[in-house]
Amino acid sequence: MSQYPFRPAPLSGVGLDRRRFLSLAGLGLSAAALAACSGGPDTSGAGASAATDDTDWSTVRPAAAITFWSSNPGASQAVTQQLIDAYNASQSETKVTLVTAGANYEEIAQKFQTAQAGGGLPDVTIFSDVWWFRYYMQKTIIPLDGLAEAVDMDLGDYRDQFVADYQYEGAQWAIPWARSTPIFYYNKDHWSKAGLEDRAPETWQEFEEWAPKLLAAGTGVQAAFQLPALAGYAGWTFQNNLWGWGGGWGSPDDFDVRCDATESIAALQFLQDAVYKGGWAGVASNSAPNDLTAAAVSATISSTGDLVGIQKSATFPVGAGFLPGGPAETSPVCMTGGAGMGIPKDIPKENQLAAAKFIKFMTEPENAVTFSAATGYIPVRKSADVSQLTATNPLLQIAIDQLEVTRTQDRARVFFPGADQAMANSCANILTQQADVAGEMSALKAALTTIYDRDVKPNL
């Protein structure tokens, strides 16, 4: 049974004990070691050379069989298999087999990393927002521009915010697939009992004013708001708070680290005070969406990929809205996230071509709508007809509309190997151990700077 601590549990209680953190960080920082197995990384103009693909794909015949590795994000295994079955039935040149290669993004990434040295690579695999760039630095994936042209994949029809997340050095390194933004979910019944207007708060300061009313409404909640399970979402969702206060982990445009800026510290201090001083926020020990659907809390922030699951599990009407802003900025304070599809470098050209054709099919507008209807992920194609989808599930329109006010994630999170785990560790200390915020952010900056100097800068 899930626990809903009003006061946060010890660090191990949020699923991020020191041994697990160090093992994940070790995995994340293994780019140089893995590359060394094949002679070490080429640091002379790696980006430009890696983005060059002179293959004449018209002379290549697609492979007869390929595998697709997925961790089935958003409980998507059934709909993914449905789409694969449809693809296999639609043509006879290539059969695709779905392989569940991990329970989450980290597990599938670990398996993919291991396969670079041990063999058994997939032909298509999912790349999460915090893993694909290390594959680029290792030069273990291929740019997809030439293949996209060869199979008539219209990159211009993919939502700009999503497709841009996989671009670097003038090349496209993955194709958007299970993509999302976080949105603000709330229990409409609790809102009504507290006498609140049926909408999400515009700012965190406004919600801070609402929280005592929610706690006093006789709903039996242990917290008005549930912060996410830190091991999985802290680095992602807390960008909302950092940006709202005018800070950030870093920048979307360069490799600066800003987590120790005055504004960043103030944002995280607000969250710590919400837990320890204000007493209106809790910390999820496992799943904030589960805490919400159990009516143990009144609101939380989670991915749109959780939308359908939340709606199915909740016994109350679910409300949703844009992410709140902060005292410095109210828009854009929302990030995108999720996974794309990419192709390994060290597989035959025949497999790479077959993989590209499969990716094109999986992300066709009508298939993007099918995938979205089953999961809550946002359809990745501009031309996708979402009218029936949003008529059936109006809350999905909120996620689509919020795309217009998103910003690219800070590079310090998504481009630094292991940074997401380091951020989660620091946030766990702040929110479950009441550690000094400024001290934690100073230590985090030192750790992130080391990651950049050791594992990023030499491989750019």
Per-residue pLDDT of the chain (460 residues; tens, 9 = 90+): 332 233 333 333 333 333 333 333 333 433 333 333 333 333 233 343 345 678 999 999 999 999 999 999 989 999 999 999 999 999 999 999 999 999 999 999 999 999 998 889 999 999 999 999 999 999 999 999 999 999 999 999 999 999 999 999 999 999 999 999 999 999 999 999 999 999 999 999 999 999 999 999 999 999 999 999 998 789 999 999 999 999 999 999 999 999 999 999 999 999 999 999 999 999 999 999 999 999 999 999 999 989 999 999 999 999 999 999 999 999 999 999 999 999 999 999 999 999 999 999 999 999 999 999 999 899 999 999 999 999 999 999 999 999 999 999 999 999 999 999 999 999 999 999 999 999 999 999 999 999 999 999 999 9
Q: For the whole model, what pTM was predicted?
A: 0.85
Q: What pLDDT is recorded for position 31? A: 35
Q: What pLDDT is recorded for position 39? A: 31
Q: What pLDDT is recorded for position 303? A: 92
User: Can you tell me the distance from the alpha carbon of 307 to that of 290, in angstroms, rounded to the nearest whole number?
Assistant: 12
Q: What pLDDT is recorded for position 29? A: 38
Q: What pLDDT is recorded for position 4? A: 28
Rg of the chain in Å (alpha carbons): 22
User: Can you tell me the distance from the alpha carbon of 7 to that of 9, in angstroms, rounded to the nearest whole number?
Assistant: 7
User: Can you tell me the distance from the alpha carbon of 91 to that of 80, in angstroms, rounded to the nearest whole number?
Assistant: 17
Angle made by CA atoms 216, 217, 222, in degrees to the nearest 5:
65
Kindly state the tokens that stand for 244: 């709202």
Does the CA dihedral 263-265-271-276 come out positive or negative? negative
- How buried is residue 44: exposed, middle or buried, by Cβ count under 10 Å (0-12/13-18/19+)? exposed
User: What are the DSSP calls for 264-293, one per residue?
Assistant: HHHHHHHHHHHHHTS--EEE-SS-HHHHHH
Q: What pLDDT is recorded for position 118? A: 83
Q: Is 325 left (phi over 0), alpha (psi -120 to 50) or beta?
A: beta
Residues 6 or more apart whose Cβ sits within 8 Å of residue 146: 53, 54, 55, 57
Task: Read off the amino acid at residue 312.
Answer: K
Q: What pLDDT is recorded for position 53? A: 75
Q: Do residues 250 and 413 lie in contact, with contact meaning Cβ atoms separated by under 8 Å?
A: yes
Q: Domains in the chain, ordered, with CATH?
A: 11-20+182-335+411-455 (3.40.190.10), 41-180+337-384 (3.40.190.10)
User: What are the DSSP calls for 113-143, one per residue?
Assistant: HHHHHHS---SEEEEETTTHHHHHHHT-B--
User: Can you tell me the distance from the alpha carbon of 219 to that of 236, in angstroms, rounded to the nearest whole number?
Assistant: 30
User: Can you tell me the distance from the alpha carbon of 355 to that of 345, in angstroms, rounded to the nearest whole number?
Assistant: 12
Q: What pLDDT is recorded for position 13? A: 35
Kindly state the tokens that stand for 189: 């019944």
Strand bridging mode 182-187 / 281-283: unpaired
Q: Do residues 150 and 273 lie in contact, with contact meaning Cβ atoms separated by under 8 Å?
A: no
